[in-house]
Amino acid sequence: MLYPQQMYVLKRIILFLRRLIYLARSHPIESAFVVSVIIAALLPLRQPSIKGYPYLHLTEIKDDLQMCLVTRRPPDFKLCPLVARELSTFKHANININDSLLQEMPVKFKIQSGGRWFPKNCSSWQRVAVIVPYRNRENQLKVFLQHMHPFLQAQRLDYGIFVIEQSEKHSFNRGKLFNIGYLEASKEPDFCCFIFHDVDLLPESPQHIYGCSEEPRHMCSALDSFRYVLPYPELFGGVVAFTKEQFSNVNGFSNMYFGWGGEDDDLYERLCSKQIRVRRWAPEISRYTMLYHAKEIPNPTRHMLLRTSVQRLEVDGLSTLEYKILKTELKPLYTHILVDVKPR
């Protein structure tokens, strides 16, 4: 029930809106112009600095990065500099496929089969496994590989790229593919940092060191398709970095999300339940280009699964992972693992 004064205000508002609609109908071009000016004036308010999300700045990165011993190197071998000289000359993301470059890359960049590389004259801070879930995105994979090898080498990283392809059976399960990639890469010694990476995202800033932080890091927090603004602080998709301890602490991703969406929110819930805060680096460092693709069909059961995410933590994840490897191949630019995510 409204008081007479409130009724009066409501009537005035309705009258004002009616006049606006009338004005917009009679002067459509002018109205469109005014609306555009208002939107342009409001958009800068979405800047992350104004929203006040906590970020680590360039000067704080060195303290944030974790060091782990690479046993293949003598313990007194000198550490690589964190920001290599080549970084300053690195170019922005190129989204065009260059087939001849892809052919030349293994020799030109001295990449070992399986997509491995490490610097010869210094010891990297971490050995990093980049895990990519994959199915039927051939062109995006080409652009990704052509971008990532020079990018990671400029940072003097000891790294390997693992592409985990799901067989045609069943709908796509991004979380499970990440879990499989983690377990398979862990069979090799020394991988201590795992970067779970969509194939369609390309880091733009050479200063964005692909190593693990004190806390799990959301790496692609400034996406070009979101105008480089983090839409909401709970977003934890795209590219994330976990040390072995951080990932096993939350039992990895859930294995239960088939189809698009939910698995990244589920992982965020897992972190929250353990009072782990997500780390992010400043937006100017965390900039990514996203390659275009049509939107996948969302999984209608994702909201229901999310409600029980925390209860399932111990019984749904790395500890209960079942899969069947159909093929493992050391390709010139990556390790290819084809899997069936439901073995039975």
Residue type, 25: R
Restricting to residues 209-268, which ones interact with ligand UDP according to CB under 6 A?
237, 260
Q: Cβ of residue 159: shortest distance to ligand UDP, in angstroms?
A: 18
Residue 200 touches ligand UDP, criterion: CB under 6 A = yes
Q: Cβ of residue 143: shortest distance to Mn ion, in angstroms?
A: 13
Residue 142 touches ligand UDP, criterion: CB under 6 A = no
Q: Which stretch binds Mn ion (CB under 5 A): 196-204, 228-236, 270-278, 315-323?
A: 196-204
Residue 296 touches ligand UDP, criterion: CB under 6 A = yes
DSSP state of 208: S
Q: Cβ of residue 84: shortest distance to Mn ion, in angstroms?
A: 29
Residue 264 touches Mn ion, criterion: CB under 5 A = no
Residue 172 touches ligand UDP, criterion: CB under 6 A = yes
CB atoms within 10 A of CB 133: 23
Residue 190 touches Mn ion, criterion: CB under 5 A = no
Candidates 158, 190, 200, 316: give the one binding Mn ion (CB under 5 A): 200
Q: How far is CA 209 from CA 132, 176, 225, 233, 301, in A?
A: 18, 26, 22, 21, 36
Q: Which CB sits closer to ligand UDP, 53 or 260?
A: 260
What is the largest distance, in Å, between two alpha-carbon atoms of the chain? Answer: 83
Residue 178 touches ligand UDP, criterion: CB under 6 A = no
Q: Is 31 helix (H, G, I), strand (E, B) or coil?
A: helix
Check residue 238 and give left, alpha or beta (phi > 0: left; psi -120 to 50: alpha): left
Q: Residues 149-188: x/- map of binding to Mn ion (CB under 5 A)?
A: ----------------------------------------
Residue 284 CB partners (closer than 8 Å, separation 6+): 205, 222
Rg (CA), the chain: 24
Restricting to residues 66-125, which ones interact with ligand UDP according to CB under 6 A?
none
Residue 241 CB partners (closer than 8 Å, separation 6+): 193, 194, 195, 196, 210, 211, 212, 213, 216, 217, 219
Q: Which residues bind Mn ion (CB under 5 A)?
A: 200
Q: Which residues bind ligand UDP (CB under 6 A)?
A: 132-137, 172, 174, 198-200, 237, 260, 293, 295-296
